[in-house]
């Protein structure tokens, strides 16, 4: 039972344009969401997060949007840069828990 799903295995965008990565979840107990970025041969690194009490969180070029009624979140990267090319994982947690549940990942390629 995949509780966190990233339906797009890959996404390709031009440098300078917006990248939008999507994530859906099924467990209504999830109330904290995170995005991680992973380069080949490296561990994932934390990028940005959002609590369920918010619907938007922004950090520089990265913005995460949360739509609780649709159980959907998205990560916007504006403007996209070639260095953003990586696999992006969406993850979710419950407030009282320590563990994260990850999606399958989306490979983002930003073309110069």
Could you tell me the two tokens for 81?
A: 């840069």
- Near another protein by CB under 8 A, which window of 11-19, 56-64, 72-80, 85-93? 85-93
Q: Which residue, 14 or 51, has its beta carbon nearer to another protein?
A: 51
Least distance from another protein to the Cβ atom of residue 43, Å: 3
In the shown chain, the binding pattern of residues 48 to 67 toward another protein, with x for contact by CB under 8 A and - for none, equals -x------------------
Contact 21, 108 (CB under 8 A): yes
**Full DSSP string of 8-75:** -SEEEEETTS-EEEEEEE--TT--EEEEEEE-TTS--EEEEEEETT-SEEEETTEEEEEETTTTEEEE
- Out of 21, 24, 75, 103, the residue judged to bind another protein by CB under 8 A: 103
Is residue 26 part of the contact set for another protein (CB under 8 A)? no
Is residue 41 part of the contact set for another protein (CB under 8 A)? yes
């Amino acid at each position: 039972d995949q509780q966190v799903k990233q339906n797009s295995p890959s996404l390709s965008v031009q440098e300078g344009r917006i990248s939008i990565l999507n994530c859906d979840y099924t467990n209504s107990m999830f109330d904290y969401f995170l995005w991680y970025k992973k380069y080949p041969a490296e561990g994932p690194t934390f990028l940005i997060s959002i609590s369920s009490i918010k619907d938007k969180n922004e950090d520089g070029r990265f913005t995460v949007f949360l739509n609780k009624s649709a159980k959907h979140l998205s990560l916007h990267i504006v403007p996209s840069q070639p260095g953003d090319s990586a696999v992006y994982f969406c993850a979710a947690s419950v407030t009282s828990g320590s563990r994260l549940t990850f999606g399958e990942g989306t490979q983002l390629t930003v073309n110069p």
